[in-house]
Amino acid sequence: MSQRLRPVAPIWVAGRPQHGEEEFFVTHPYDESPVGATSWATAGQVEAAVAAAAGAAAECAALPAHVRAEALEHVRRRLDEESETCAELITAESGKPIAWARVEVRRAVSTFRWAAEEARRFGGEVQRLDTDPTADGRMALVRRFPRGPVLGITPFNFPLNLVAHKVGPAIAAGCPIIVKPAPATPLSALHLGALFSETDLPAAMLSVLPVPNHRAELLVDDPRLAVVSFTGSSRVGRQLLRRVPEKHVTLELGGNGAALVTADYPKRDWAAERIAMFGNYQAGQSCIAVQRVFIEAPAYADVAGRIVEHVKALPTGDPNDPACKVGPLIDAEAAARVEAWIEEAVDEGAKVLCGGGPRVGALVEPTVLANVRPDAKVLRDEVFGPVLVLASVEDYAEGLAAVNDSRFGLQAGVFTESLPQAMLAHRTLDVGGVVIGDVPAFRADQMPYGGVKASGTGREGVRSAMEDYTVERVLVLPDTL
C-alpha cells in the first residue's frame, strides 16, 4: 500500500517550530511504510521549553478568560476545517481505520469546544459562613488558581483526542503545558501545535516535544512542572506516581472492561452487536474496550451465539478502506503479544468460538473465547487487542461480583432496562463509570472519566481535568468593608 510521505514535521518549542538533531520516520502499522518524519527534541530544546513554561506561568494564569476561550475556539474551528486531513493523519500513524479516525477528529473538535466554553464559566463560589456564631459577619469566596506548568504524556491509541484532553483543559485553566506524545504517533500532536501557533496565546504556553520514552524521566522529574498528567499503561503510571510523590499526578490507566447482559434484557441483538463492535474497534486498543462479557445463564447460549456472528461479520484489513472496522495493532510486537496470550489461554483449556488464527504482521483476527481459566492473562490483565472472553453467571448478583473481580476499575456496561438493577450497579460496581444499556466503551468527552484501583487516579473530561490542574484558594471577607 503506497502512502504519501509528508514533509518533516517540526517540533514545537515554546510555540516556535524547530528541528532536533536526530530525525526519525513514522511508519504505518498496516504495512510498515514510512508516512512521515519528525525529530527528537534535544536536551537543550527540552530545557528551553520547560524554562519558558515556568517563566510564563504567571502571565498564562493572568490571561483573561476570553483570550483563552478565543484561542481554543480557533483551534476547534481549524480542526473542523481540516477534519479529513487530520483523520488521514491519524490513520497513517496509528493504523486506526479511517472510519474511527473520523470519529476521533469529531470528538477532538467537541473537546476543544467544551474547553472554550469552560474557560468562560470556570469561576468560583461564594459561601456564607454565618452558619456558626463564630463566623457572623463573614463570607468566603472560593476560587481555583493554576497549579503551574503541566506535563502531558499521551498514548498512541488516540493520538489527537487524548492530546486534546491534556491541552484543552490546561489552556482553559491558564496553565502552560508541555506535551510528550507517544513516540509511535507524534504527528497529530505536532499538527495541533501548528494550529495553536496561529493563536494569540503566549508562545510559551504550549510545547510539543517528541522524546524517547527512556528520556522522559528528565521531564517527569523537573520540579518546574507542577502537574504530571499521564495516559497509558498501569505499570508505567504507578512508576510515575512513586517517582514524583510530591507532584500532583493524574493517571488515566488501563482496564479490562466488562459488560454484563441480564437474562430479561429484550434487545439481545443490540447488546451482541455493540459488544462485538466495541470489543474489536481500533483492534481492541482502547482502555474501555469490551474484554470480559458476563451473561446470565438463561440467555447465555443465545447472546453468545449472536456475539460470535457479529464478530465474524466485522470487516477487517486495510484501515484506509472506509468499510474496515478492525485494522492492525500499533505494531507487530503488540500483535505477537496478543497472539501469545490467546495461544496460552487455549493451551490451558479455553474454547475458541471464532477467530484465533495466526496473525499477519500487526493484524490479529478478532477472537472470541469461552471456558477461560480465571487466572488467564486474557481475563485478568488488559489484553489491548481484539479479544472477547465470554462467561455465564447464574444471576445478577453473581454478574456484578464477576465484574468487580478485577484489579482494574475503569468503566463497565450493564445491559438492563430495570431501574433498580441500574441503581444497584451504580452502588455496587467499583469502577469510575457505569453505562446502562450499552458497552463500557461509551464516553462523552465532557463527562468525568477515569478509574479506580489499577485504572488510575484523577479524572479527565474538560472541567474535571481543569480541577486537577488547579487548586482551591479561599478568601474570607467581612460582609461589609
Does the pLDDT value for residue 3 go beyond 70? no
Q: Do domains 11-253+455-474 and 258-445 have the same CATH topology?
A: no
Between the CA atoms of 440, 443, 446 and 450, what dihedral angle is there, to the nearest 10 degrees? 40
Percent of the chain with pLDDT over 70: 99
43-47, 110-114, 235-239, 384-388: least confidently modelled range? 235-239
Does the pLDDT value for residue 1 go beyond 70? no
324 in active site: no
Confidence grade of residue 81 (pLDDT, cut at 50, 70, 90): very high
Does the pLDDT value for residue 2 go beyond 50? no
Does the pLDDT value for residue 101 go beyond 50? yes
7-62 confidence digits (pLDDT tens): 899 999 999 999 999 999 999 999 999 999 999 999 999 999 999 999 999 999 99
318-361 confidence digits (pLDDT tens): 999 999 999 999 999 999 999 999 999 999 999 999 999 999 99
User: Mean pLDDT over all residues of the chain?
Assistant: 96
Which among 84, 299, 37, 314 is positioned nearest to 190, based on CA atoms? 37
pLDDT average, residue stretch 457-480: 95
In the chain, domain spans: 11-253+455-474, 258-445
Q: What pLDDT score does 481 carry?
A: 72
Topology at the third CATH level for domain 11-253+455-474: Aldehyde Dehydrogenase; Chain A, domain 1 (3.40.605)
Q: What pLDDT score does 480 carry?
A: 79
Percent of the chain with pLDDT over 90: 98
88, 104, 118, 252: which is the annotated catalytic residue? 252
Under 8 Å between Cβ of 145 and 470: yes
Cα gap 131→151, rounded to integer Å: 41
Q: What pLDDT score does 479 carry?
A: 82
Q: What pLDDT score does 4 carry?
A: 58
Confidence grade of residue 131 (pLDDT, cut at 50, 70, 90): very high
For 258-445, CATH number out of 3.30.2020.10, 3.40.50.1820, 3.40.309.10, 2.40.128.120 equals 3.40.309.10
pLDDT average, residue stretch 179-195: 98
60, 287, 324, 354: which is the annotated catalytic residue? 287
348 in active site: no
Under 8 Å between Cβ of 47 and 55: no
